[in-house]
Amino acid sequence: MFAFAPYGSYWRDLRKIVTLELLSNRRIQLLSHVRVSEVGASIKELYKRWTGSSSHFQVELNQWFEKEGRRCLSAIKEFIHLLGKFVPSDAIPGIGWLDLGGYEKAMKKTAKDLDYILSECHNLGYDCRRHRYQHVYPYVVNISIELLNNFHVLTKAQEELDVHVGKDRFVKESDLGKLVYIPAIIKETLRLHSPAPLLLPHEFTEDCIIAGFHISKGTRLMTNLWKIHTDRSIWTDLLEFKPERFLTTHKYVELRGNHYEFIPFGSGRRICPGISFGLRLLHFTLATFQHPFEISSPIGAPVNMPETFGVTNLKSTLLQVLVKPRLPSNLYTK
């Protein structure tokens, strides 16, 4: 929640605690076994649905990723949905008491739901780790759609996994460092389908002049990532899904906010502190899912990608895929 706190000592203290205690490389490493068992269990559950015939079976990916922690997830989804709403009283504060559209009432209910869930976690010593993963799983769905629509990319990713991991075991986190194509797929998806297409709202704390424009203190800045990530002066074949660009022409472009032409995690002081954790989980989940299954689209045509309007970018319709195991059966049942 400190993402919504203004810059100051409260934000600074929380950010320090979270960065050092929750999202540091050491903590991410210490919790590796949780990721491995969660992702491994999901793969095995998926395999159980396969009847053993030679054909593919159909899976709805959003539901598969979301099946756990559904209640928590729906409260978080509602929170994110409300966060991205333009409420009339934002523009005309005087009419706030009318609560046009009932948004304030809905916000109060969501706040109560989230408070309840968090205090329940605390009281019962409940395992919230899964819920932390929900943050990035919808994004794996977005990446999967890029892959379904670009079959050659999927094939190339599987070839890379076959070379570095082989076909007689599943992916381990220690394999991730050897992969170059899957990181490029993730970068290309973050370019074309950034999860936070407007970053978060920033506010100027003092008057200043930028590029000759006078900006008054208190002005809100919404950053249009889509515009930046499809800037003609930087990118060629703007709308094409080409992970190869990050291995050739744009090899130098990294993700940590130092190259302003590509800032899916933001940049500067308020840059996302979950970069390492988010990327580790994305790489691992995607590699672990792609390696043991053949994946294709049931409609045999490009999958539509309508996105929700709001502060985070989610696919607004369900994603059906056909899945078929491609590794020796004893691996899935170990």
With b for 16 or more beta-carbon neighbours within 10 A and e for fewer, the 191-200 pattern comes to bbbbbbbbbe
Q: Which residue has the CB atom at the shortest distance from ligand HEM?
A: 274
Interface stretch with ligand HEM, choices 96-104, 107-115, 194-202, 298-306 (CB under 6 A):
194-202
Residue 66 identity? E
| Shortest Cβ 65–ligand HEM spacing (Å) | 14
Whose Cβ is closer to ligand HEM: residue 69's or residue 325's?
Answer: 69
- Applying CB under 6 A, among 39, 185, 199, 303 the residue interacting with ligand HEM is 199
Q: Site size for ligand HEM, by CB under 6 A?
A: 22
- Does position 197 interact with ligand HEM (CB under 6 A)? The reply is no
- Does position 196 interact with ligand HEM (CB under 6 A)? The reply is yes
Whose Cβ is closer to ligand HEM: residue 18's or residue 331's?
Answer: 18
| Beta strands at 213-215 and 220-221: parallel, antiparallel or unpaired | unpaired
Whose Cβ is closer to ligand HEM: residue 3's or residue 98's?
Answer: 3
Residue 293 bridge partners (DSSP) = 325
Phi-psi region of 219 (alpha: psi -120 to 50; beta: other; left: phi over 0): beta
- Does position 246 interact with ligand HEM (CB under 6 A)? The reply is no
Check the annotation: does 272 bind a ligand.
Answer: yes
The interface mask with ligand HEM, positions 261-280, x = CB under 6 A, is ---xxx---xxxxx--xx--
- Does position 200 interact with ligand HEM (CB under 6 A)? The reply is yes
Per the CB < 8 A criterion, the answer to whether 103 and 82 are in contact is yes
Could you give the CA distance from residue 34 to residue 170 in angstroms, rounded to a whole number?
A: 16
Interactions with ligand HEM, residue window 129-148 (CB under 6 A): 132, 135-136, 139
- Does position 195 interact with ligand HEM (CB under 6 A)? The reply is yes
- Return the ∠ at Cα 64 (arms to 157 and 110), rounded to 5°: 120
Count of beta carbons in the 10 Å neighbourhood of residue 140: 19
DSSP class of residue 164 equals H
Please enumerate in sequence order all residues whose Cβ is within 8 A of that of 226, keeping only pairs 6 or more positions apart, or say none: 194, 197
- Does position 243 interact with ligand HEM (CB under 6 A)? The reply is no
| Shortest Cβ 331–ligand HEM spacing (Å) | 28
Helix (H), strand (E) at residue 320 = strand 320-325
Residue 181 bridge partners (DSSP) = none
Binding-site positions for heme read 272
Point out which residues bind ligand HEM (CB under 6 A).
2-3, 15, 132, 135-136, 139, 195-196, 199-200, 264-266, 270-274, 277-278, 282
Binding-site positions read 272
